[in-house]
Structure 1
């Protein structure tokens, strides 16, 4: 067992050093992304309610030293004339690296029909990082100097939705990050990332009975230097108060989700992930989310919040 644990730690450290040569922006993984959409798509700002707050905590590969841990807080609301504004804070820790990401999000919503809307969003902010690489031990006993710093974020997205369907496309991080540069590869200036993360999300709502709704959805994530990631989700909503379902991430993990919705405003959700790994051991992950939606019955161009279940 100790051999397996040490092997996993070594793999995590190796992945960090492999990233020294890719410079790709690292975007945390989420299981309950459907209720944390603002982090990956700024066009989602203002869609849910007049004011929406969300807090998420994720602990990946429980019991493995240096495994990823992520905390997220987001807030967004609606202004007049179709404008939405929000902010996100993401703390992500993996192995010897730690990042704190702060972003401001803004959206503009267009009325496309009586029951459909199209929104466009922009994201901008800054990421602070700390790479404690001096504490790492590699297979060839090389030592890297620890680094700290910050770099800017820019992203954009589009989101179309009605009461029974949605589709979104986004690039949440466009600029190249110097977080994993080593000294001989340092270069100045701000440039476009060569390995952009593209997110395509879509879902549909089926009313099976007066009390039960079926909510299949998917997310496709593409990065040029990594295998494509595909999530397939099947959730059931009972009396708009209890939600449960399963999620499959292609060649990666199988997840179970459960949530309780109180008074159509407060949502408490939990997700358990089991990684489909060939390394052995218990690669389980836990994720919990708390979401609060406030509706002030304002006359805006968005759809009624309690009629949109995404």
Structure 2
């Protein structure tokens, strides 16, 4: 009975905290979006650094995302992370870098993080993380139309950043909440009048591995993201893994976008690709309207078997 309540209490706490964060972040119905990507289930460290403790190996991860192929100034994102285990104290440390570009806007953020886990039962852990760094935001509005006084003032800001994360996990599941970016500006929404409006990001994430047979595993996952002053975005994905090597899956989000996901996990390397397109009449389109996403991961140290979670 004690073990049962030990498991239930952290889950209730995380879900309650998530509902509070999402409710707070959705209080104003502005049309803004947090940073979202389809391969989130395998690249969560920049969203919640507490996730880094799920793997006893070190890892280097790179993810690139580009929307509207062939269109100048289209949104692009580059995500990089490095995680190093500190096994003696059941902790990890590392860095992550995020760069977002949209038209004349460019934002780069660099954070260092530290995460520590405590063992709740034989196979369940609760990890917490803190990250800190700087973010640089540049908007070259004057390049749009130098003759228009509305766009005469460029914006350049460098601000400190701090965030935290909490994750409850076991051998084949995780559930977590995080606020990795406090007072973070979202690309594509700034203006001269809103140049000082900095908003915070909130995330809820969860996934688990279900063994179908000796050769096939299935991983459902979800990522809920909310930006202060915006509606929350819900992502739902499912991936089938064949012999822990080949992955085939899909992701759908409440922006009415669907993505197919493929991955290959060989030795210490994992390569992933996703192709996202709209499913409603106002965002459905051809190749140029799609979003392409490529990821590459390398694990080192105590790698053991291929990492699925």
TM-score by length of 1: 0.80
1:120 and 2:128 are equivalent in the alignment: yes
Alignment-derived partner of residue 299 in structure 2: 293
Shift of 1:116: 1.6
Question: How far off is 1:181 after superposition?
Answer: 7.1
Structure 2 residue aligned with 1:216: 220
Q: CA RMSD in A?
A: 2.9
Name which of 131, 139, 153 aligns with 1:131: 139
Cα distance in 1, alignment partners of residues 171 and 93 from structure 2: 22
Name the counterpart of 1:206. Answer: 210
Could you tell me which residue of structure 2 aligns to residue 309 of structure 1? 308
Q: Which residue of 1 aligns with 2:12?
A: none
Distance 1:162 1:30, change over 3 A: same
What CA distance in whole angstroms lies between the structure 2 residues aligned with 1:244 and 1:104? 32
Q: Secondary structure at the match of 1:251?
A: coil
* C-alpha distance 23-249 of structure 1, shift in aligned 2 (>3 A): closer
Aligned residue runs from structure 1 range 259-274, under 5 A: 259-263=263-267, 265-274=268-277
Q: Is residue 23–residue 177 contact of structure 1 (8 Å, CA) maintained in 2? A: no
Q: CA-to-partner distance for each residue in 1:3-25, whole Å, 9 max, x for gaps?
A: xxxxxxxxxxxxxxxxxxx9999
Cα distance in 2 for residues equivalent to 1:199 and 1:243: 25
- Rounded to whole Å, the distance in 1 between the matches of 2:179 and 2:31 is 13
SS class of match (1:113) = coil
Question: Structure 1's 271 and 165: CA in aligned 2 closer, same or farther, altered over 3 A?
Answer: same
Q: Does 1:87 align with 2:95?
A: yes
What number of residue pairs does the alignment pair up?
Answer: 275
Asked if structure 1 preserves the Cα contact closer than 8 Å seen for 2:79 and 2:97, the reply is: yes
User: For the structure 1 residues 137 and 286, does the alpha-carbon distance in structure 2 shift closer, same or farther, using more than 3 Å as the test?
Assistant: same
The secondary structure found in structure 1 opposite 2:73 is coil
1:102-113 matches, within 5 Å, as 102-113=110-121
* More moved, 143-152 vs 207-216: 143-152
- Asked if 1 retains the 8 angstrom alpha-carbon contact of 2:278 and 2:290, the reply is yes
Which residue number corresponds to residue 8 of structure 1? none
| CA drift at 1:164 | 1.7
Please give the TM-score of this superposition, normalised by the length of structure 2: 0.80
| 2:107 equivalent to 1:99 | yes
CA deviations 1:163-196 (Å, max 9, x no partner) are: 1211010011113659957489769xxxxx6x43
Q: Deviations over 1:14-48 (max 9, x none)?
A: xxxxxxxx999974321111122011112122322
Structure 1: tracts of 5 or more residues without a match? 1-21, 188-192, 298-304
Partner of 1:11: none
